[in-house]
Chains A and B, each alone.
Chain A
Amino acid sequence: MSMPPRSRTGSGPLVAGLIIAAVVAVSVLLLAASGATPTGVWNSFFPVHNEGGVTDRSTSVQNLYDIVFYIAVVIFLIVEGLIVWSAFRYRRKPGDTELPPQTHGNNLVEVIWTVIPTAIVLFLFVLSWQTLNTVEAKVPSDVHVRAVAARFQWSFDYLDADGKTLFTQALPVGDTGGMVVPVGEPVLVDLRSDDVIHAFYVPKFLFKRDVVPGKTNTFNFTVEEPGTYRGQCAELCGAFHGSMLFEVHAVSKGDFDTWLADQVAKANATPPPSPSGAAAGPVVELGALNVAFSTNALTAPANAPFTIHFKNDDDKVPHNVEIKDASGGAAFVGDTITGVAEINYNVPPLKPGAYTFVCTVHPNMTGTLTVQ
């Protein structure tokens, strides 16, 4: 039997070249168009843009990531290099009428490429086990917070040494909300859910933990840098899963103690007279249902007090109305009510202009208030 003649079959390198050229060109164009810098691109390959985590444990996670990353990059370059090299070097050429050597295998190389990867993964395993012990370490903590996840908002119970609730922070975000913790002090967090599974995730902590109904997960951390850190539910919990945002405010120990004392005092004080008093000035209607406002455009008169009649139709879900001026500062923050309920907000006079109104609990609920 003779081999049928074959035409030159060298289009592979051409195709590969085209692909590489196209991918490189498109990537460079897109990166340039979006204003990315080489440093920015490089940093995007590391957690939280290579800015580093902010807790005592996140540094070790970051280090472990870096080691895995560099090993993976080296392996990638070697193996992908071998594949690309084969494509260019070993393509069939016009003179190749004889079969190439029919190599069936080689036990020595099989052993080599079994043993070396085994050594690498065992090394990584030991390293990650050590890091795991750092991340999971339990330390005695004076600050004890219970993060309660519910569809679709977070609240934070501050607990005393006996585990009794001192007060509940019902607003998950904002200047007056969020989970406030002291810098440099160990914090113990209990996680609780009474409905579905959620997950406590703060990207800057390089950490998340599921909030499982019927099971109390706990973890420790110490924030080392003051600041406000974005957090979000990371386990699908229903339609508005993407709206379950929260913030962690890390403040100095002194500020934290003052804040905590204030909050506890406020919680113990007799509740203020019901704010749903008589409406003053013109009344603007606004509702909330399914974690959305009933409208995204409101109008109100300028330089005169007016009332927002706010009706929260979301069963067991807290909402409020906050009005922000053009600079993002709060012009008015309404009390949070948990549905189903309604309230009259007496809003002070506002200057003419466009304001944004949001629900502090659910920052993706927004609209524009035109004052004229």
Chain B
Amino acid sequence: MASTTLNPTAPAYRSRSTLYEWLTTTDHKKIGIMYLVNSFVFFVAGGILALVVRTELAQPGLQVVSEEFYNQAFTMHASFMLFLFIIPILAGFGNYVVPLQIGAPDMAFPRINALSLWLLPLGGLLMGSGFFVSGGSAASGWTEYPPLSGAKFSGTGTDLWIVGLTLIGTSSILGAVNFLVTIFKMRAPGVTLFRMSILTWTVLVTSVLVLMATPVLTSALIMLFIDRNYGGHFFDPNNGGNAVLYQNIFWFYSHPAVYIMVLPAMGIISEVLPVFSRKPLFGYKAFVFATVGIGALGFSVWAHHMFTTGAVFLPFFSLMTFLIAVPTGVKMFNWIATLWRGQLVFKTPLLFAMGFLSLFLIGGLNGAFSAAVPVDFALHDTYWVVAHLHYVLFGGSVFGVFAGIYYWFPKMTGRMLGEGLGKVQFVLLFIGMNMTFFPMHQLGLAGMPRRIADYAATSGWTELNLLATVGGFVIAISMLPFFWNVLVSLRNGKVAGDDPWEANTLEWATSSPPPPYNFDHLPEVRSERPVFDARHGRTAAH
């Protein structure tokens, strides 16, 4: 149906190769897809590093890697997964979906959009190139606390990590400006703020968080770089600096970053749950306010990562950390109320969205333990925290990402992903995820600190570590049906049509894949579900 051709074609306008087309494109859809592909490259790299870590921990004693490489492995695992997989892949969904959902032809600044994309592989390669310099990559954990990350204790890999992350941060900031301008200035007629999709709302709030927090991270990185290379003493206690200052600045970014990593995933499942329940999202406005509330409270909880430093005012951060559970809980209840009395269609996107609900619930509840400061004294920096953050970021964000991929793949490619393989992947991933990360609760309670390469055979941690390692490989295996599914479906998948899911939002009102500049005609927008309204004759059809 919808298609546009440049007519008449200017004689000087030569057609270029497809590769050239993709490398130079400013089309938000192609850029969005490249965001996803780039993110998956780093997902695989980070996953391999995670398997190195898990393999080493399967048994007491050092079998696979040296202590030095072990530290590099978990540092780069986290750096890749957080900065080069979760954050960019969610930005990728935002890039692809948000202009479509608000009825815009493209992002507001298409060339800046291309710049945001191409900074990512550059930053990632710089970070990763640490493995090839003497002394290896950054190895002080993804948090890179000084003095350990200072020049005295860490090598060139840390400088590469700082420079790479600064570029990635710049990409985020440019992307956030672009999203904000796009969302505020480029909405189609009828798309008022309170008729925007929830995904668009979460991208909006996320962009505000990025804009306020990421420059602060950049400042911490620059100070660290000056300390390391030009004799600065910002974080050097021997010369009047303060080591805890870095932690304050770092977490002032990195706690809001947790919401940067999870809000858009919440947005994705808020698209998926209503479509596959055949109901509107329950409590749309409550949901919007909860999202804004999380964004605002998210700036007042950073020091809960620092309860054991002895340098923070504990009751305040404890209170705020408890309070931020409330808007998150409101969302959970609204999601369940969306399912309630619906007609659930169990396609793969819904499975992943319900997987998100089940696992993110655990990630929220085990977080409450650490909000109780005295309990955090016992659990901080143990495997309990590793369990908590993976239930939030893997059980939450990653399950949201897969829900989004199965949901929008037909729109992006015009073909459906196979349902059978999708369900196989879901079952394997769900089992593997719990097998890997659930035992970490008990390991933490039994006193196993995180970031150790080895433990004594007498410590009683062996069985649970072995179980977690087996689970890690189940997760790895669950990726095989996924990648196979993508490869096969790209060529031979069922043809999707414009609206295979009977969905609600504007991206389903155009062809799959959409033409350049997205729409020939837009349906009338009278609610947050314009395509639903058109399908059911509530507004004029497109």
Contacts and interface: CB of A to CB of B under 8 A. Distances in A.
Interface residues of A, number: 102
Contacts of A114: 326, 330
Interface stretch (B264-272, B372-380, B475-483): B372-380
Interface residues of B, number: 103
A353 interface: no
25 contacts: A3-B502, A23-B434, A47-B379, A64-B374, A65-B369, A65-B378, A71-B368, A76-B362, A83-B354, A90-B340, A101-B279, A104-B280, A104-B283, A105-B284, A109-B333, A110-B283, A121-B325, A121-B326, A121-B371, A122-B322, A124-B371, A132-B314, A199-B308, A208-B378, A235-B145
A93 B326 CA distance: 35
Interface string B289-313: 0000000000000000000111100
Contact of A236 (B140, B330, B358, B374): B140
B453 A83 contact: no
A364 B456 CA distance: 7
Contacts of A199: 308, 381
A206 B378 contact: yes
Interface stretch (A138-146, A239-247, A312-320, A343-351): A239-247
A124 B279 contact: no
Nearest to A231: B447
Contact of B446 (A19, A49, A135): A49
B350 interface: yes
A247 B265 CA distance: 45
Interface string B412-425: 00000000000100
Interface stretch (A4-12, A180-188, A264-272): A4-12
Interface stretch (A213-221, A251-259, A277-285): A213-221
B178 to A, nearest CB: 32
A113 B449 contact: no
Contacts, number: 300
Interface of B: 66-68, 71, 139-141, 145, 147-148, 153, 237-238, 241-244, 277-280, 282-286, 308-311, 314-315, 318-319, 322-323, 325-326, 329-330, 332-334, 336-337, 339-347, 350-351, 354, 357-358, 361-362, 365-366, 368-369, 371-375, 377-382, 423, 426-427, 430-431, 434-435, 441-442, 445-447, 449, 451-456, 459, 463, 467, 502, 535-537, 541
Given A100-B277, A129-B318, A206-B377, 8 more contacts: A68-B369, A72-B369, A86-B342, A135-B377, A201-B447, A215-B244, A233-B449, A239-B71
Given A61-B378, A80-B361, A238-B153, A213 B238 contact: yes
Closest 3 CB pairs of A and B: A214-B237, A12-B346, A203-B447
B432 to A, nearest CB: 11
Contacts of B346: 9-13, 15, 87, 91
Contacts of B341: 90, 100-101, 103
